Amino acid sequence: MYLDKAGLIALWRESLLAQKVLSSKTKGYQNHPQLKRFKNHTEPGKAIGHYLYFVYDEASKRGYHFSKEKILYSSGQIPSLIVTEGQLQYEFQHLKRKLRKRDPSKYFELFEIKKIEPHPLFKVIKGSIESWEKVEKKIKV
């Protein structure tokens, strides 16, 4: 919900690629750090499918027409994915830094956010930035 148009479209494309990786339909992209959160899930294919469904839903609310048929799994209940507070905060700051240049109005909109709401599939736990994250040295927002 915090992404601008360009970010939402990129997330859709990258998540579809992640779905291909997790279903062994491509050789590339297999070592991307963000994939670890899905690979560690008990049902990686279903987890990325649920993730994609919520991206699709957000896009639909905004009037975009993403192809729901590209989602391999999106029904049934699955366990949540875990995200640490530190990782969520890091990703939010990273997004704001990108939006500062790409979409200043969206950037200023995010300053109203007091509590970051994660993607509906995620459960937030205490903790710092994940060990797999490639941390940029300085993030100023």
In the chain, domain spans: 5-125
Buried/exposed code over 23-58 (b: 16+ C-beta within 10 A; e: otherwise): eeeeeeeeeeebbebbeebeebbbbbbbbbbbbbeb
pLDDT tens, position by position, 88-101: 999 999 999 999 99
pLDDT in tens, 36-89: 889 889 999 999 999 999 999 999 999 999 999 999 986 778 889 999 999 999
Do the Cβ atoms of 83 and 118 come closer than 8 Å? yes
